């Protein structure tokens, strides 16, 4: 049996590369595993040799100690890999297939999956609808920042790349299909972005930049990206976005400077619950982004909210924030007849089309988010650097795949 190494959360501000068990076709007990999932037999699963696995801003929330994640949790929900073994119930996925793994774990059998709502599958997480690899309160499925990972319901979940050699040449783009590209695109779609739209995207991290790329694919006339980090705003400018530094300029004033009017057609929250207030030296104010989006989005518009919000935040600024309760101006949203779309992105709704856009050179998502390959051993340094606000998307490469294709 092969060995396996992975990135583990070891407490606030600390991750380590540790030895873990090689995957088997049974879900075993471990940090974060729901007791009702222990011993679950997985004949429908596949074992993947991880090609690339990305560090996500959602992982950073856990590593900062801003969730109830248990120490020892194996991290990583953005996974691309080669199938090395399949269970007896797998019919269509074969050994040697190079595949993208949607971060949503779904069964393909329940009522929600049959409606395309794979982000709220009813059968994979005993705690609540919806699940993911290596994430707090998501059922305890082992994360993919590892050398090898198990993917349940492989025939359903895995997106096989049609040409393995072509896929390897574009691996830094295709690795974004597991989460941030569909998630950003979903934010733009659910905000109602279409040809000729003006859209304001709060946050120039990887998901915000992916939302901006998605808005451009959807035909937006003007994409405005707001952030407080100059390097991240520069990344958005590099592929044609307008920008607002909200540490220096009020969003409405910035929009007026760019558009000649103080409102946009569509708004996207790519920040989430650790949002800060606007202005120089502003501290944490978790409702800031949502309230500002309601203010600057035209009546009858929509807000896409791919930014993460949690039900338990030990580091929240007050008792309300610690349980995910925010002071929202819901009356303003009601008065303007705004629509809201929250929750995980249903990755399978978009990933095949976005794969085709990548393979046919219609989009360069790796360049837009500054994909930066690092080794598994360098993952702790990658987490620390990402947390400092750099304009990079760190891609962990456990087996040197990106070096072979560079």
DSSP helix/strand/coil, 113: helix
Residues 190 and 309 in one domain: yes
Residues 250 and 313 in one domain: yes
Report pLDDT for 2. Answer: 79
Over residues 109-125, mean pLDDT: 97
**E strand or H helix at 357, and its extent?**
helix 351-359
User: Are the C-beta atoms of residues 358 and 365 closer than 8 Å to each other?
Assistant: yes
Name the domain boundary from 341, 362, 389.
341
Mean per-residue pLDDT over the chain, rounded: 96
DSSP helix/strand/coil, 254: helix
Q: pLDDT tens digits, residue range 345-383?
A: 999 999 999 999 999 999 999 999 999 999 999 999 999
Range of the domain at 215: 184-341
Q: What are φ and ψ of residue 340, in 5° steps?
A: -125, 135
Residues 153 and 196 in one domain: no
Q: pLDDT tens digits, residue range 118-172?
A: 999 999 999 999 999 999 999 999 999 999 999 999 999 999 999 999 999 999 9
Residues 155 and 27 in one domain: yes
Whole-prediction pTM value? 0.96
Residues 335 and 400 in one domain: no
Report pLDDT for 404. Answer: 63
Cα dihedral 175, 145, 58, 302 in deg (nearest 10): 30
Residue in 259, 238, 240, 254 with CA at minimum distance from that of residue 202: 254
Termini Cα distance of the chain:
31
Q: What is the CA radius of gyration of the chain?
A: 20
Over residues 261-285, mean pLDDT: 93
Only one residue has tokens 């996974």, namely 79
Over residues 338-343, mean pLDDT: 96
**E strand or H helix at 368, and its extent?**
helix 365-368
Report pLDDT for 135. Answer: 96
Residues 320 and 389 in one domain: no
* Residue 164 neighbours by CB under 8 Å, 6+ apart: 96, 97, 98
The count of C-alpha atoms lying within 13 angstroms of the C-alpha of 320, restricted to the half-sphere facing its C-beta, is 7
Residues 294 and 359 in one domain: no
Cα dihedral 364, 183, 382, 313 in deg (nearest 10): 160
Q: How many CB atoms lie within 10 A of CB 339?
A: 14
Q: pLDDT tens digits, residue range 175-200?
A: 999 999 999 999 999 999 999 999 99
Report pLDDT for 240. Answer: 97
Q: How many domains does the chain have?
A: 2
Q: How many CB atoms lie within 10 A of CB 360?
A: 8
How far apart CA 378 and CA 403 sit, in angstroms, is 15
Specify the CATH number for the domain of residue 308: 3.40.50.720
Residues 128 and 232 in one domain: no
Percentage of the chain with pLDDT > 70?
99
Phi-psi region of 189 (alpha: psi -120 to 50; beta: other; left: phi over 0): alpha
Q: Tell me whether residue 140 is exposed, middle or buried, using C-beta atoms within 10 angstroms of its C-beta: 0 to 12, 13 to 18, 19 or more.
A: buried
Residues 118 and 141 in one domain: yes
How far apart CA 255 and CA 242 sit, in angstroms, is 9
Q: pLDDT tens digits, residue range 11-68?
A: 999 999 999 999 999 999 999 999 999 999 999 999 999 999 999 999 999 999 999 9
Tokens of 242: 């307008």
Q: H helices within 111-205, ranges in order?
A: 111-114, 154-157, 164-169, 171-174, 180-190
Name the domain boundary from 287, 321, 341.
341
Report pLDDT for 31. Answer: 94
- Is the model's pLDDT at 405 over the cut of 60? no
Residues 311 and 354 in one domain: no
Residues 369 and 276 in one domain: no
How far apart CA 140 and CA 143 sit, in angstroms, is 9
Residues 287 and 350 in one domain: no
Over residues 201-220, mean pLDDT: 98
- Is the model's pLDDT at 1 over the cut of 70? no
- Is the model's pLDDT at 291 over the cut of 70? yes
- Is the model's pLDDT at 88 over the cut of 90? yes
How far apart CA 109 and CA 84 sit, in angstroms, is 25
Specify the CATH number for the domain of residue 399: 3.90.180.10
Q: pLDDT tens digits, residue range 37-46?
A: 999 999 999 9
Name the domain boundary from 311, 326, 341.
341
């Amino acid at each position: 049996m092969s060995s396996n190494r992975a990135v583990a959360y070891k407490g606030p501000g600390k991750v380590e590369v540790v030895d873990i068990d090689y995957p088997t076709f049974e879900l075993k007990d471990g940090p974060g595993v729901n007791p009702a999932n222990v011993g679950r037999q997985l004949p429908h699963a596949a074992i993947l040799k991880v090609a690339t696995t990305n560090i996500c801003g959602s992982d950073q929330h856990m590593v900062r100690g801003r969730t109830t994640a248990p120490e020892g949790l194996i991290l990583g929900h953005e996974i691309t890999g080669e199938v090395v073994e399949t269970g007896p119930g797998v019919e269509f996925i074969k050994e040697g297939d190079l595949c993208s793994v949607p971060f949503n774990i779904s069964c393909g059998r329940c009522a929600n999956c049959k409606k395309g709502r794979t982000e709220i599958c009813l059968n994979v997480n005993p705690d609540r609808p919806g699940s993911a690899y290596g994430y707090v309160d998501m059922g305890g499925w082992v994360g993919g920042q590892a050398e090898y990972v198990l993917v349940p319901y492989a025939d359903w979940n895995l997106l096989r790349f049609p040409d393995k050699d072509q896929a390897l040449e574009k691996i830094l783009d295709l690795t974004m299909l597991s989460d941030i590209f569909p998630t950003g695109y979903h934010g733009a779609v659910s905000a109602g972005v279409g040809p000729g739209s003006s859209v304001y995207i709060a946050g120039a991290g990887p998901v915000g930049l992916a939302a901006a790329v998605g808005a451009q694919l959807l035909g937006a006339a003007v994409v405005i990206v707001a952030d407080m980090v100059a390097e991240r705003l520069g990344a958005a400018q590099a592929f044609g976005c307008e920008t607002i530094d909200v540490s220096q300029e009020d969003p409405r004033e910035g929009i007026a400077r760019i558009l000649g009017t103080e409102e946009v057609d569509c708004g996207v929250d790519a920040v989430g619950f650790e949002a800060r207030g606007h202005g120089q030296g502003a501290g944490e104010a978790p409702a800031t982004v949502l309230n500002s989006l309601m203010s600057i989005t035209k009546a009858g518009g929509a807000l896409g909210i791919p930014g993460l919000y949690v039900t338990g935040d030990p580091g929240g600024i007050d008792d309300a924030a610690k349980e995910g309760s925010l002071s929202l101006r819901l009356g303003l949203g009601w008065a303007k007849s705004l629509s809201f779309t929250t929750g995980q992105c249903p990755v399978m709704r978009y990933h095949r089309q976005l794969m085709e856009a990548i393979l046919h050179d219609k989009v360069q998502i790796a360049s837009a988010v500054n994909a930066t390959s690092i080794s598994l051993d360098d993952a702790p340094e990658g987490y620390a650097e990402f947390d400092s606000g750099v304009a990079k998307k760190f891609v962990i490469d456990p087996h040197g795949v990106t070096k072979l294709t560079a």
